[in-house]
Structure 1
């Protein structure tokens, strides 16, 4: 798991071109961008969504086997607990079509608050629990870059 500032995105150009292009998309996105899916590269797409955060999510952690998630709140902020999947117990079967498994919620190894210039990158081994509020529950608009691995 990586948490960083959008001011540092040039660093990612040397690491992974798809992640870099996703971060450029995030940095240049208008907060009024329409909800939906936006192709970025052959291996990356942006998913723009909105929802209300909660004190506790209904599903625990999630993890993906075939994508890296780059997450950023373009409106407001979200707290995301995270933990290595080796510490977690699945509570659903792996969904091959949607590429995710849900895991029971346990004490996280850490948390990140995304938005306000801070993004997070979650690799396949990073269980992450989105939808948590950063304070009072409320509306967020979020961009998730899905990078194929």
Structure 2
């Protein structure tokens, strides 16, 4: 897991050949003119999910992905997130959903932290994460980057 300010995003471009495309999408995002939901970048290799979130039930479930790395960016508002090493998760809720690339766990996060506006978190398949742990309105971009 990586947590940083968007001004430092170029530091991480060398970690994956598609990270730059994801950060370019974030840098070009217009808060006054955007499309919620899936936004194409390069097909299923990398795409963006844009959310305008209000009045949600707080999430307490950890989730993991096998096929995609998440770059979660806060455009507006804050998001309290939880983290736990995937290998330490022992309480699965259901089976892995390959179509949605997600497995949920009811384990308690090892750490919780607030992600503020203009900050991003990179979650790898080894990172179990629980976004939206508090009911706070936010505009958020999740860049889904296919693993190598």
TM-score when normalising by structure 1: 0.87
What per-residue deviation string (whole Å, max 9, x for no partner) do you get for residues 85-125 of structure 1? 1111211111111010000131x232332232210000011
For 1:3 and 1:112, locate their aligned partners in 2 and report how far apart those are by CA, in whole Å: 10
Gaps of 5+ in 2: none
Greater strand content: 2
Identify the residue that residue 4 of structure 1 maps to in structure 2.
4
Alpha-carbon distance change, 82 to 54 in structure 1, aligned in 2, over 3 angstroms: farther
Q: Offset at 1:21?
A: 1.4
Is the CA contact (8 Å cut-off) linking 1:53 and 1:131 kept in structure 2? no
Note if 1:92 corresponds to 2:90: no
TM-score when normalising by structure 2: 0.87
Gaps of 5+ in 1: none
Q: Offset at 1:41?
A: 2.7
Report the count of equivalent residues. Answer: 144
Is the CA contact (8 Å cut-off) linking 2:79 and 2:136 kept in structure 1? no
Q: Offset at 1:79?
A: 0.9
For 1:51 and 1:116, locate their aligned partners in 2 and report how far apart those are by CA, in whole Å: 14
